[in-house]
Amino acid sequence: MRLHIRLESASHQGTALIAIRFARHTGAEDTLRKMHFCRWSRTLKAWCLPWSEANFQEVIKTLRVFGYVDYSGFRRPVGLTKDIKQKEGHNLPTEIQDHLEKFKCWMQSRRYSDNTVKTYSEAVKCFLVFHSDKRVEAISNEDLLDFNNNYILKNRLSASYQNQVVNGVKLFFQQIENRKLNVELVHRPKRAKPLPNVLSKEEVKLILDAHGNLKHRAMLSLIYSCGLRRSELLNLKPSDIESNRKLIIIRQSKGKKDRIVPLSDKILEMLRIYYRAHRPAVWLFEGQKEGEPYNERSLVSVLKQALQKAKINKPVTLHWLRHSYATHLLESGTDLRYIQELLGHSSSKTTEIYTHVSTKSIQNIISPFDTL
């Protein structure tokens, strides 16, 4: 069913906002959650992000795929203070564009991942646009504090975004400007440590069996059966499947590392059937055009369709399947060191978080209430 999405004018503590209201919808919520400045407001009971014309147009364009976007009741704020988003895009000062291009080239020459290049570039752009009234050479520690207090904290942006900005700005000034800003002046918030989201085996089976489409079922099944990240699945080539050894080779994944993961007989047979039916040319899973990898957004849509068919209302993401793979391995008795290798974690501490969501031992604990 198509959504009816309303955009309304709102404000909170002096900040002009775009309030987004619609009936509960996992796909739309996941999309908004990924937008840098967007968050759920308990006070307004709506998804909100700071007002700017660019944000306004982006929300309309992004949410149209889910239904009708009604902004007839929206009133554009007037008399706003410094607005970062309105200054971006085509109006970006030439000096800032030049500095950002140098920064991108430097990161790319050092083989930073595409995601890191994009994240740091956006963070530094936001910082420089905020101080576009000053030359880059004149920006000081006080300006970093000003940005932190009067933009990040004022707009209640996330701790993770704050850390991205601090890390990006630190690297930019150190490598491009050949000087250091004292980032220690900015109070670094403690990172939240949420537990990984895990599905039961019954829920996983419902999701994997939901699709009648062979390619869709094979993609989701391979993510769960091998604990793959989304990018790892989409970057696979047929030559990475070593059927004789029952192994799959994950090449140049996070941290530029290769690793091998065992293939079960069941998933191997599914891949053989898929290969005979589709005969992929370059990538194991290709899009509509031969030789092009399957689109990331399309893969997300494949999962959303499976959730709807399986009638699972949880906000499941593709990464939940990876978390579930690790947790189910742990519950079946697999040594934590092996799980670390299978997931490609550099540190065992990263893998140890799954011990907190494994229910095998916890369910055996008898509450003292039962012995009263």
Long-range contacts of 101-106 (CB under 8 A, 24+ apart): 102/176, 103/172, 103/175, 103/176, 106/175, 106/176
- What is the reported pLDDT for 80? 42
Residue 5 vs residue 36, higher pLDDT:
5
Residue of 154, 229, 237, 304 marked active site: 229
Give the pairing type, strands 67-70 and 3-12: parallel
Task: Order across the sheet with 247-250: list the strands.
Answer: 241-242, 247-250, 259-262
* Distances 62 to 29, 48, 285 between C-alpha atoms, Å: 11, 14, 25
Which whole number is the average pLDDT over 214-229?
Answer: 94
99 among known catalytic residues: no
- What is the reported pLDDT for 39? 87
Residue of 170, 322, 323, 328 marked active site: 322
Are 125 and 96 in contact, with CB atoms under 8 Å apart?
yes
Residue of 87, 131, 211, 345 marked active site: 345
Q: What residue ranges define each of the domains in the chain, with the CATH number in brackets?
A: 3-70 (3.30.780), 84-185 (1.10.150.130), 201-356 (1.10.443.10)
Which whole number is the average pLDDT over 62-78?
Answer: 80
Residue of 120, 151, 325, 354 marked active site: 354
**Residue 259, helix vs strand vs coil:** strand
Q: What is the DSSP string of 93-118?
A: -HHHHHHHHHHHHHHHHTT--HHHHH
345 among known catalytic residues: yes
pTM above 0.75, yes or no: no
Closest CA to 264 of 278, 250, 280, 243: 243
Residue of 39, 104, 156, 319 marked active site: 319
223-265, pLDDT tens digit by residue? 999 999 999 999 999 999 998 999 999 998 887 788 999 999 9
- What is the reported pLDDT for 360? 63
254 among known catalytic residues: yes
Which whole number is the average pLDDT over 347-360?
Answer: 77
With both helix axes pointing from N to C terminus, report the angle between 296-310 and 201-208 in degrees, rounded to the nearest 10.
110
Angle (nearest 5°) at CA 224 between 220 and 230? 65
Terminal C-alpha separation, the chain: 51
201 among known catalytic residues: no
125 among known catalytic residues: no
- What is the reported pLDDT for 371? 62
Task: Determine how many CB atoms are found less than 10 A away from the CB of residue 118.
Answer: 13
276 among known catalytic residues: no
Listed in order, strand segments (DSSP E) in the chain are: 3-12, 15-21, 39-41, 46-50, 67-70, 241-242, 247-250, 259-262
Residue of 12, 237, 254, 259 marked active site: 254
* Distances 303 to 53, 77, 227, 372 between C-alpha atoms, Å: 32, 38, 15, 46
Closest CA to 226 of 67, 341, 121: 341
Are 107 and 117 in contact, with CB atoms under 8 Å apart?
yes
Residue 320 vs residue 132, higher pLDDT:
320
Which whole number is the average pLDDT over 57-73?
Answer: 84
